[in-house]
């Protein structure tokens, strides 16, 4: 089974998203994601005063209920800057 996630935001916002993402998964994908989640949260919480972009995915193969293969890939980028929205939907000052 596999899972994948991509988020951009403040560290607190991304951590909240990571916590809520479990509810979107089920079965073995959820179990694999939940096993990786505390580690992902720990990495994101190391970023202070910047925004983050997190891309992560994982997969595993089981045979007779025994995990035979597993992998996880994570990319975490910290950056400064503002989030810019669509000018057509931006509030007028």
| Residues 7, 17 contacting (CB under 8 angstroms) | yes
Query: How far apart are the C-alpha atoms of 40 and 69, rounded to whole Å?
Result: 20
Q: What is the pLDDT of residues 43-88, one digit of tens each?
A: 999 999 899 999 999 998 888 888 889 899 999 999 887 777 767 6
The model's pTM? 0.82
- What count of other Cβ atoms lies within 10 Å of the Cβ of residue 65? 5
pLDDT digit string, tens, across residues 8-25: 999 999 999 999 998 999
CA distance 93 to 84: 15
What sign has the CA pseudo-torsion 58, 16, 35, 46? positive
Q: Are 32 and 21 spatial neighbours (Cβ–Cβ below 8 Å)?
A: no
Q: Would you call 31 helix, strand, or coil by DSSP? A: helix
């Amino acid at each position: 089974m596999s899972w994948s996630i991509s988020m951009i935001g403040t560290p607190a916002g991304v951590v909240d998203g990571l916590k809520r993402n479990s509810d979107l998964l089920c079965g073995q994908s959820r179990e694999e994601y939940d096993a990786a989640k505390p580690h992902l949260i720990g990495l994101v919480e190391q970023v202070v005063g910047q925004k983050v972009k997190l891309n992560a995915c994982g997969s595993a193969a089981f045979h007779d209920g025994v995990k035979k293969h597993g992998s996880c890939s994570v990319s975490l980028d910290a950056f400064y800057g503002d989030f810019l929205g669509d000018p057509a939907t931006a509030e007028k000052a």
